[in-house]
C-alpha cells in the first residue's frame, strides 16, 4: 500500500493574524522533513498558548527559521511531481499555506486536500483510539509539524491495515 503524503503546519496562534511557523511533511516512503519559518516583518501576532503547545519561541524562529521563499520552493520541489498532499486540519493549514506562498510571491504546484477524503467510515471509527495508541507506543512529541504529519500517516496506515 502506498502511503499518502501528509502535511502539517504549526502556527503562531489561531484566527486573525496568525501565520505559519513550521511546516512538516511525511513522505510516501515514511520519511519526514520539517522546516521552521522565519516570520515576515508584518507577522506580529503571537499567542503564548500556542507557544506552550508547540514549544517554539518567536526568537528561535528569527534565529533558525528559513525565509518563506525557501520553504515555498522546498514544498514545490517536494510536492509538484505527486501533485497532492493531505492535511487533517485543512481549513487552517490551507489558509497558512496560502499565506506562505503569497509572501513568497509564488504559486503552489500542488493541491492540499483534507485527509478525511481518504478515510472510510470504519477508519474514522477507529481513528482517535488508534492515534492515541501510536502516541504512547512511539513516544511521539506532539505539536511539531514533522512528528504530527508522521503520526497522521501512521494512524492512516494502521486503521487501513486493520480493516482489510
The domain spanning residue 77 has which CATH number? 3.30.420.10
For all residues of the chain together, what is the average pLDDT? Answer: 95
Per-residue model confidence as pLDDT tens digits over 58-87 = 999 999 999 999 999 999 999 999 999 999
Q: Is residue 139 part of a domain?
A: yes
DSSP-derived letter for residue 10 is: E
- Burial of 83: CB neighbours in 10 Å, binned 0-12, 13-18, 19+: exposed
Q: Is residue 60 part of a domain?
A: yes
Q: pLDDT band for position 2 (50/70/90)? A: confident
Output the furthest CA–CA distance in the chain (Å, rounded). Answer: 50
The pLDDT of residue 51 is: 95
Instruction: Check the CA dihedral 100-90-50-131 and report its sign.
Output: negative
Distance, in Å, from the CA atom of 149 to the CA atom of 6, rounded to the nearest integer, reads 5
* SS3 at position 19: coil
Report the number of distinct structural domains present in the chain: 1
**Among 99-103, 134-138, 140-144, the range of highest mean pLDDT:** 99-103
Distance, in Å, from the CA atom of 114 to the CA atom of 86, rounded to the nearest integer, reads 5
Q: pLDDT band for position 163 (50/70/90)? A: low
Q: Is residue 11 part of a domain?
A: yes
pTM of the model: 0.94
Strand order of the β-sheet with 32-36 is 32-36, 20-26, 6-11, 84-87, 111-114
Distance, in Å, from the CA atom of 79 to the CA atom of 23, rounded to the nearest integer, reads 13
Distance, in Å, from the CA atom of 111 to the CA atom of 15, rounded to the nearest integer, reads 22
The pLDDT of residue 141 is: 78
Mean per-residue pLDDT, 18-23? 98
Is pLDDT of 25 > 70?
yes
Distance, in Å, from the CA atom of 93 to the CA atom of 13, rounded to the nearest integer, reads 12
Distance, in Å, from the CA atom of 131 to the CA atom of 3, rounded to the nearest integer, reads 16
Paired strand residues for 9: 23
Q: pLDDT band for position 147 (50/70/90)? A: very high
The pLDDT of residue 15 is: 84
The parent domain of residue 104 ranges over 6-161
Q: Is residue 94 part of a domain?
A: yes
Q: Is residue 1 part of a domain?
A: no
Q: Is residue 145 part of a domain?
A: yes
Q: pLDDT band for position 162 (50/70/90)? A: confident
Mean per-residue pLDDT, 125-146? 93
Q: Is residue 152 part of a domain?
A: yes
- Residue 22, number of CB atoms within 10 A of its CB: 22
Q: 102 or 141, which is more confident?
A: 102
Amino acid at each position: 500500500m502506498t502511503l499518502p503524503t501528509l502535511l502539517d503546519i504549526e502556527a503562531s496562534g489561531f484566527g486573525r493574524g496568525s501565520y505559519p511557523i513550521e511546516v512538516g511533511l511525511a513522505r510516501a516512503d515514511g520519511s519526514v522533513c520539517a522546516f521552521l519559518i522565519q516570520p515576515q516583518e508584518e507577522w506580529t501576532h503571537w499567542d503564548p498558548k500556542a507557544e506552550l503547545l508547540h514549544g517554539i519561541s518567536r526568537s528561535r524562529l528569527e534565529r533558525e527559521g528559513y525565509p518563506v521563499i525557501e520553504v515555498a520552493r522546498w514544498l514545490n520541489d517536494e510536492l509538484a511531481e505527486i501533485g497532492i498532499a493531505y492535511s487533517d486540519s485543512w481549513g487552517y493549514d490551507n489558509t497558512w499555506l496560502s499565506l506562505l506562498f503569497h509572501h513568497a510571491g509564488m504559486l503552489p504546484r500542488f493541491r492540499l486536500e483534507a485527509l478525511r477524503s481518504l478515510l472510510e467510515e470504519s477508519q474514522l471509527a477507529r481513528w482517535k483510539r488508534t492515534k492515541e495508541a501510536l502516541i504512547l507506543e512511539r513516544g511521539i512529541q506532539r505539536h511539531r509539524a514533522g512528528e504530527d504529519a508522521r503520526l497522521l500517516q501512521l494512524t492512516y496506515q494502521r486503521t487501513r491495515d486493520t480493516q482489510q
